[in-house]
Chain A
Amino acid sequence: MSKELLTVENLKTYFFTASGVSKAVDGVSFTLEKGQTMGIVGESGSGKSVSASSIIRLLPKIGKIVDGKIEFEGKDILKLGKKELLNFRGKDIAVIFQDPMTSLDPVFKIGNQMVEMICAHQDISKKEARAIAVEALKKVGIPQPEKRMDSYPYELSGGMCQRVIIAMAVCCKPKMIIADEPTTALDVTVQAQVLELLQELQKEMNTSILLITHNLGVVWKMCDTVMVMYAGKTVEYAAAETLYRNPMHPYTWGLLDSMPKLSDKVKEELKTIPGTPPDLRLTGTGCNFCNRCPYAEEKCRAEVPPLVEIEKGHFIACHRQNKTEKLARGEGKKNG
């Protein structure tokens, strides 16, 4: 048995808008193993969420997967029919969205929503489904689960709602959970609780988690491997420890440096990445980071850097970082 659960190869999702083709995801590759957690980090607009929606093929009409391969347990997801797809979503892969308050329907009781979801995927009676739902709510640490089944979403706090959504996600024992910024809308103390809950459930059921976030702290806490995205492309992909100890891509350096840290001295100047992310309609002719990169050369503007494995399990897409030439971190900080 291979350990790989999900393989994504050179995924390209474009949005065909009135003002041109926007390359939201333009070359993303990674593999996710069973029971592992992978983090996707990047700024907003870097294509994190679109990559995730592409995996479950939940794209808006103007979005199309134009190239690439997505394999889940050997199945090619891009070739699934409508019916198979419905079964695949929810049962094999569950999704937890960012805003807990809006992902539940406000006019239905929590219990009804959970039962509806369970009945859609499993061939059981409503009564049995209800029992499963209560069990799931208990598992995620909601007090008095029987009573809470009859609550409406507005009666619960944000953290509680997120627990309900996690409970819904684990009801069908999915093989993989996509968590799209699951804690961004929550406070730090609640965030810690929710993350710990996810970790516990993962251990118990051996689920894989694809965690999308922009908070590097969350990545260090949760993830085995990390993929850094910039303007629709994978720029670096490595194990979390490797990425922390030995980041290679100039964008990753910039990202790590611009995070305010608790160990910093008070009022120390933060190192920033000058400029702003590029317009996604105009990318694709060179390295997308070249206009903000202090190390950029002629070649970076003219040629798209390929994703190469520089060490075992450490992938990077940069012209100036390869086996023959190495950049030292900090060299370009003078101008940064």
Chain B
Amino acid sequence: MDEKKVILKVRNLTKEFKIKSHKLGEKPQILHALTDVSLDVYQGETLGIIGESGCGKSTFGKCLVQLHKPTRGSVEYQGENILGLKKGEMKNIKKEIQMVFQDPFSSLDPRMTAGKLVEEPMIAHKTEKDRKSRSKKALQLLQTVGLDIQHVHRYPHEFSGGQRQRINIARALALNPKLIVCDEPVSALDVSIQAQVLNLFNQLQRQYGLTYVFISHDLSVIKHISDRIAIMYLGRIVEICRAQELYENPLHPYTRALLSAIPPESPFEKRERIVLEGEIPSPIGEQKGCPLAGRCSFCKERCRNEMPGLCDRGDGHQVACFLYESK
């Protein structure tokens, strides 16, 4: 693990949204979407990010590809902070960091054919200027993702969900990226199609040595594809460790509750349920203490007032909880 090169270094990434008040003169409220997120992504690995809806997973992904401008913090790509870059410099980096979105139905322009859709990024970034070689490359890309020459001239509505997601992946690959941020790429697909697309992701990673940041809310999908997993709760990372370890030895109370809520694998399996009382607190307004404090059964006075930082428990297993701080 140690020899691996860090490709993306995120430090104290914070994103706040201002919510305008309807009343005249009242100060806008602040929604804390991401708070002090720090992590490393190693070259060639898949980092899974998991959490419930509204916990900031997608905001995090969008901050990485600069679709959102973070309020504070830094994102270093191969040693270079990409947050302060000018437009021209940014363009080069955007080539190397691509994104695959969740909904395969709305992320493709309905008026472009599959071939044109894959060519589009190459035109935008002027990587292939010759038209013939461009369409040849587009065909090659479509073939790598499992589509064929007969699909080149079809429009998005003629494809099924799984095929559209393949076009999206081909588009992302068109610029030879090193890092792909996948925001729930399989959650809109059926199980049998989902399995095909997951296998495709794995195969492409082996073929091109890609690095993925894979965002999902499905624990079994994340487990299947990731080398390491980060668990988010209310805009913070509460635990981060190797995929196998997470399921064998979850530490944070939230992780445990999350794991216990997964439906069983067989009708014979009985799981001990750890129930979290109440609902996820609102991310609007001032945030004080551990975000889980109101729902956690181990909550102490200190948890309500102080935010625990991520501390290493050995072998890269980091957890943000006072329960594990001194040991």
Contact = CB atoms under 8 A, between A and B. Distances in A.
B261 A189 contact: yes
Interface residues of A, number: 43
Nearest to B226: A266
Interface string B168-193: 00000000000000000000001111
Interface stretch (B60-68, B93-101, B196-204): B196-204
Interface string B82-111: 000000000000000000000000000000
B224 A268 contact: yes
Interface string A93-130: 00000000000000000000000000000000000000
B9 interface: no
Interface stretch (A3-11, A15-23, A217-225, A293-301): A217-225
B265 A261 contact: yes
Contact of B247 (A254, A262, A272): A262
Contact of B199 (A159, A192, A244, A270): A270
A240 B267 contact: yes
A188 B219 contact: yes
B199 A267 contact: no
Given A159-B279, A254-B192, A260-B221, A244 B267 contact: yes
Contact of B224 (A187, A240, A270): A270
Interface stretch (B122-130, B268-276, B304-312, B313-321): B268-276
Contacts of B287: none
A188 B258 contact: yes
Given A189-B52, A240-B267, A241-B267, A276 B261 contact: no
Given A43-B191, A264-B223, A266-B243, A272 B265 contact: no
A160 B279 CA distance: 9
Contacts of B263: 191-192, 195, 215-218, 220-221
A308 interface: no
B154 to A, nearest CB: 14
Nearest to B222: A260
A262 B223 contact: yes
Given A244-B267, A263-B265, A264-B224, A272 B244 contact: no
A246 interface: no
Given A259-B220, A266-B244, A272-B195, A220 B265 contact: yes
A43 B261 CA distance: 23
Contacts of A188: 52, 217, 219, 258, 261-262
Contacts of B198: 260, 270
A273 interface: yes
A187 B192 contact: no
Interface of A: 43-44, 157-160, 187-193, 195-196, 214-218, 220-221, 240-241, 244, 254-255, 258-264, 266-273, 276
| In the A-B complex, the 5 residue pairs with the closest CB atoms | A217-B263, A258-B195, A260-B224, A192-B261, A187-B52
Given A267-B225, A269-B202, 16 more contacts: A189-B258, A191-B261, A214-B190, A217-B262, A217-B263, A220-B265, A258-B194, A260-B221, A260-B223, A260-B224, A264-B224, A266-B224, A266-B243, A267-B227, A273-B192, A276-B162
12 contacts: A157-B279, A189-B261, A220-B266, A221-B264, A260-B220, A261-B220, A262-B265, A263-B265, A266-B244, A271-B195, A276-B162, A276-B163
